[in-house]
Amino acid sequence: MVIAIAWRNIWRNKLRSLVVIIAITLGIFAGVFSTAFMKGMVDQRIESAIENEVSHIQLHHPDFRQEDKLKQFIPEAGQKTDSLYEIEGIEAASNRLSSNCMITAAGTGSGVLLNGIHPEDESRVTNIHTKIVEGSYFEDIPKRIKPLVIGNDLADKLNVKIKSRIVVQFADVHGNPVSLGFRVTGIYNTDNSVFDKMHVFTRYQDLQSAMGVPEGAGHEIAVLLKDNELLEEVKTQTASLFKQQEVSSWKDISPELSYLNDVMGQYMYVIIVIILLALLFGIINTMLMAVLERVKELGMLMAIGMNRKRVFFMIMMESVFLAVTGGITGILAGYGITEIFGSTGIDLSIYAEGMAAMGWEPVVYPAVELETLAGVTGLVILTGIISAIYPALKALKLNPAESIRTE
């Protein structure tokens, strides 16, 4: 009954309550939607990094990261790649050769990361084959040609086109300089121009003997999972099966992305807490007015035997109702709008150039987790409770005899 009284009490001054409720609605909506927008961007960035660049899990020689990488290969990587498919949760795996090298075309040079891949395996693990803008992804390659697939930004930089000749220089496993001639057969374009400038691809067989690594060896086995949720589980399982290899997840390889991911979760709460803090004062003010204009009624209630706990509870419930009514509407609006834009996307192509340079996609699909919304609801309730404290204490200080005394 006290709850019913509290609920009806907030509608006694409809306009005043609506003003607070709308303020809370707008505040929570803005908080939810803006963080959903940010989260969408971050999720996509991570997803595209996983799909195009790092995959979920990578296997290396334990010293691969430290020393002269060419020598630090995984022996019989081809077989190991095949056996990886037996681990549950692994979607695909691809063995690569990899080396830093210098490439030159028509006098312009650039340092890049050269990858020797099995195109079929690779296209199951990464998305580069879907990002081809010119030429093809290792299709119909004439016999004597060593094909090279490069990013559009690198093509622009070197001023090369399809069929242009490119010379690649690196040191083989024995430290001897090697110089190989390639033809550009494909140009890809991901949303990350830094990646596009840095990564070039050729076939495994075109690189293996020139590098001087044994047949079947590889520098890197990239693994794609069925679901990112399985990351830690599969990582541990893989590590126990391949004790000789270093097994790293995308979080180990790109700590900055992992950090971004973690920070997003906290950022949401920081924004919401700031918004709620501002709203807190609005609710306190409204509740104070509500208490002060009801002094006589509160005095009467205490006189007839409503104890302090109940009076406090009633005022707290009024405040919670104000906060929750606004909060729920705001959350629903934020969730609804997020869902709508989550499927249509928000096109930021006008600003896309600057964003692509940092690896962000031009169309953002806002995303929010229900868990987060539950957390926000909790914070809203907490705000209601906190903002009730001062007005409720004011009410408890009332002396019933004084309050009721009619002038």
Residue 245, both tokens:
């290899």
State yes or no: residue 1 binds another protein (CB under 8 A).
yes
For residue 392, give the 3-state DSSP assignment.
helix
Using the minimum distance from each CB to another protein, give the nearer residue, 8 or 161: 8
Residue 41: its H or E element: helix 14-48
Q: Locate tokens 């003003």: which residue?
A: 19
CA dist., res. 85 & res. 93, Å (int): 7
State yes or no: residue 8 binds another protein (CB under 8 A).
yes
Minimum Å distance from CB 400 to another protein? 5
Please provide the distance, in angstroms rounded to a whole number, between the alpha carbons at the two ends of the chain. 31
CA dist., res. 53 & res. 325, Å (int): 45
Q: Are 238 and 84 in contact (CB under 8 A)?
A: yes
CA dist., res. 55 & res. 42, Å (int): 16
Residue from 304, 370, 371, 397 binding another protein (CB under 8 A): 304
State yes or no: residue 5 binds another protein (CB under 8 A).
yes
Q: How far is CA 342 from CA 93, 244, 369, in A?
A: 30, 43, 12
Residues 9-28 that bind another protein (CB under 8 A): 9, 11-12
Using the minimum distance from each CB to another protein, give the nearer residue, 379 or 388: 388
Stretch that binds another protein, among 135-143, 301-309, 336-344, 356-364 (CB under 8 A): 301-309
Using the minimum distance from each CB to another protein, give the nearer residue, 4 or 350: 4
CA dist., res. 134 & res. 187, Å (int): 5
- Residue 320's contacts (CB-CB under 8 Å, 6 or more residues apart) are 381, 384, 385, 388
Phi, psi for 312 (deg, rounded to 5): -60, -45
- Residue 253's contacts (CB-CB under 8 Å, 6 or more residues apart) are 54, 58
Minimum Å distance from CB 391 to another protein? 18
Stretch that binds another protein, among 73-81, 126-134, 241-249, 304-312 (CB under 8 A): 304-312
Residue from 263, 274, 340, 401 binding another protein (CB under 8 A): 401
Minimum Å distance from CB 255 to another protein? 58
State yes or no: residue 399 binds another protein (CB under 8 A).
yes
Residue from 102, 239, 241, 300 binding another protein (CB under 8 A): 300
| Helix, strand, coil percentages for the chain (3-state, nearest 5) | 60, 20, 25
Using the minimum distance from each CB to another protein, give the nearer residue, 296 or 394: 296
Minimum Å distance from CB 346 to another protein? 44
Minimum Å distance from CB 281 to another protein? 26
Of 109, 57, 63, 51, nearest in space to 87 by CA? 57
Minimum Å distance from CB 395 to another protein? 14
Q: Are 328 and 32 in contact (CB under 8 A)?
A: no
Residues 305-334 that bind another protein (CB under 8 A): 305-308, 310
CA dist., res. 73 & res. 211, Å (int): 11
Residue 339, both tokens:
């869902």
Stretch that binds another protein, among 28-36, 64-72, 129-137, 393-401 (CB under 8 A): 393-401
State yes or no: residue 179 binds another protein (CB under 8 A).
no
Residue from 133, 263, 303, 358 binding another protein (CB under 8 A): 303
State yes or no: residue 301 binds another protein (CB under 8 A).
yes
Using the minimum distance from each CB to another protein, give the nearer residue, 135 or 299: 299
Q: If binding means CB under 8 A, how many residues of this protein chain bind another protein?
A: 26
- For binding to another protein (CB under 8 A), which residues are involved? 1, 4-5, 8-9, 11-12, 296-297, 299-308, 310, 399-401, 404-406
